[in-house]
Amino acid sequence: MSLENIACNKSFGGWHKRYRHRSATLGCDMVFAIYLPPQAESGRKLPVLYWLSGLTCTDENFMQKAGAQRLAAELGLIIVAPDTSPRGAEVPGDPDGAWDFGHGAGFYLNATEAPWSRHYRMHDYVVQELPALIEANFPASDARGISGHSMGGHGALVAALRTPGRYRSVSAFAPICHPVQCPWGEKAFSRYLGEDRSKWAEWDASLLIANAPERLPLLIDQGDRDSFLDTQLMPESLRGAAAPAGHALELRMQAGYDHSYYFIASFIEDHLRHHAQALKAD
């Protein structure tokens, strides 16, 4: 597996780098970003936080806007940010050119319907291929946390709930909590997974959590002025499902905050400390 380094910036004493590689899972070239804190130069393996971005984003949004490197440098965390979908001329996009399906909108699932099933396998990429690549090529341990925003918050929750033992901590900002019941989810799932809604449940955090065997530290921040709160995100569905299943979900409604990166930046410190506490406890 060859990695092509395409960007390199010193940041808070460590390094922000971007790499291009051929993904076997996705059948296309992919770009990811990695932040290596100063502690990475010690040779010791460091825990990794995987960050999944939302609709329309790439690997760049979080690295440029969240203000996370300062904390990662303090806490000795590696951060890895993949792209949000397969890309390239060979990968079909939305037939209508919309922004909420196709390129930039992979929903972190494994599609089963043609023509999407050939490339749209972001769950396997994020959960399997990318960590294997990171752990083979960087001073990264197998202590993994996962977080994300909006569609990426959904992706983080689903990744953790579906793969017990793979992550030690999970968090999300304004996640899509119940995609089978919201317009973004209905559009994406009906195409990626087909019209049989019974198959959608395995990609919905509010439905998965009832039977999830693992109890991870789970922190969610949600702005109460987020214009997508009621129609697309529905954190109360997740809260309602988490409590009877015995999950300690900390859902914080943040007064006045919207869906933007200004919201994420305002609370990223709490999330990185949440992950560091779990990832550095040995």
User: Amino acid identity of 235?
Assistant: P
Helices (H), the chain: 60-65, 69-75, 122-124, 130-137, 151-162, 183-192, 205-208, 235-242, 261-279
Closer to its own copies by CB, 73 or 146: give it. Answer: 73
Interaction between residue 39 and its own copies (CB under 8 A):
no
Among 53, 150, 171, 237, the one annotated catalytic: 150
Q: CB–CB of 75/171 below 8 Å?
A: no
Residues 61-80 that bind its own copies (CB under 8 A): 64-65, 67, 69-70
Half-sphere exposure of 79 (CA within 13 A, CB side): 33
Sheet with 140-148, side-by-side order of all strands: 4-11, 14-23, 28-36, 78-82, 46-52, 140-148, 169-173, 218-223, 249-254
234 token code pair: 């529905």
Interaction between residue 257 and its own copies (CB under 8 A):
yes
Interaction between residue 266 and its own copies (CB under 8 A):
yes
Catalytic residue check, 150: yes
For the CB of residue 65, give the shortest distance to its own copies in the complex, in Å: 5
Closer to its own copies by CB, 120 or 267: give it. Answer: 267
Q: How many angstroms separate the Cα of 100 from the Cα of each of 86, 94, 103, 191, 246?
A: 14, 8, 8, 12, 33
For the CB of residue 269, give the shortest distance to its own copies in the complex, in Å: 8
Per-residue x/- marks for its own copies, 186-225, CB under 8 A?
-------------------------------------x-x
Q: Residues 9, 42, 227, 231: which binds its own copies (CB under 8 A)?
A: 9
Q: How many angstroms separate the Cα of 16 from the Cα of each of 40, 47, 167, 203?
A: 12, 16, 23, 31
Interaction between residue 273 and its own copies (CB under 8 A):
no
**Quick one: which segment of 47-55, 100-108, 177-185, 257-265 binds its own copies (CB under 8 A)?**
257-265
For the CB of residue 266, give the shortest distance to its own copies in the complex, in Å: 5
Closer to its own copies by CB, 117 or 260: give it. Answer: 260
Number of residues interacting with its own copies: please give it, by CB under 8 A: 22
Q: CB–CB of 49/37 below 8 Å?
A: no
Among 149, 204, 226, 274, the one annotated catalytic: 226
Interaction between residue 228 and its own copies (CB under 8 A):
no
What is the rounded CA–CA span in Å between residue 51 and residue 54?
A: 10
Burial of 37 (0-12, 13-18, 19+ CB in 10 A): buried
Q: Residues 1, 132, 248, 265: which binds its own copies (CB under 8 A)?
A: 265
User: Amino acid identity of 19?
Assistant: Y
Catalytic residue check, 259: yes
Q: Residues 194, 258, 270, 280: which binds its own copies (CB under 8 A)?
A: 258
Cross-strand bridge partners of residue 51: 147
Kindly report the number of other CB atoms within 10 A of residue 124's CB atom: 16
Catalytic residue check, 226: yes
Catalytically active residues are 150, 226, 259
Q: List contacts with its own copies (CB under 8 A).
A: 9-13, 16, 64-65, 67, 69-70, 223, 225, 256-258, 260-263, 265-266
